[in-house]
Amino acid sequence: MKRLPSLLGALKEANIIAGFALRGDLVNQRPDLTRKILSEGHEIMNHSFSHPRKFSLVGEQMMRREVESFQELMRKKFGYTPKGFRAPHLMRKYDRNLFRILQQNGLYDSSYVGTGVSLIDGVTEVPLTSCPDHPCVCFDYWHHFQLPLIRSSLTEFFKLWEILFAGGDFVNIFLDPRLTSDTLLSEMFKRVPRSYTFSQLRNIAARSA
């Protein structure tokens, strides 16, 4: 959460509305930042309450508690009902129980890597955009610079970023605030074609429902 004030400033300066996948325990620790995110018009997504390390293995009861505790916290403390869900660590296998929980809570999902909005068990899936070089994983800073087997340069990272816009009309990426500097964000903004518009995932999901 320490990086959020600076990132919010960078987004405001660029006049960009974004989405933040937050975990409930951190929301409880920094309600001031949560209110600031909302006051500036950004979307907040359900990222579970405590961010279990192996979310796909916790079982239906724990999944429900993780998802619904976050929803309850946001409603009671901030008068805000999240519309989207992103799984912890972006690492989970398909689980019918989870999609039933998401459907019952009116949540779209944005945890899978793929192309094109789809419907899974009655839940709208807004996929993360895959990396042009590594199509099984999403395009993000972490896998390019934290994984020892890849170790991209910034030049290569920005080259792939530009390729994404040449290959399709929808780009949905995840950036970890802890790893995203203001300078990196600014350089990424500069490379977004003027023909593109920024849209919140909840609006994309609503149009596709």
User: With the C-alpha atoms ordered 46, 76, 52, 179, is the resulting torsion angle positive or negative?
Assistant: positive
pLDDT at 92: 60
Residue pair 127/105 in contact by the 8 Å Cβ criterion: no
pLDDT at 91: 59
pLDDT at 56: 76
Show the domains of the chain with their CATH numbers.
4-208 (3.20.20.370)
How high is the mean pLDDT in each 10-residue block of the chain (209 residues)? 84 90 93 94 95 83 95 97 90 81 96 88 93 87 79 89 85 86 89 88 87
pLDDT at 174: 86
Residue 67 CA to residue 102 CA, distance in Å, equals 8
pLDDT at 136: 83
pLDDT at 180: 85
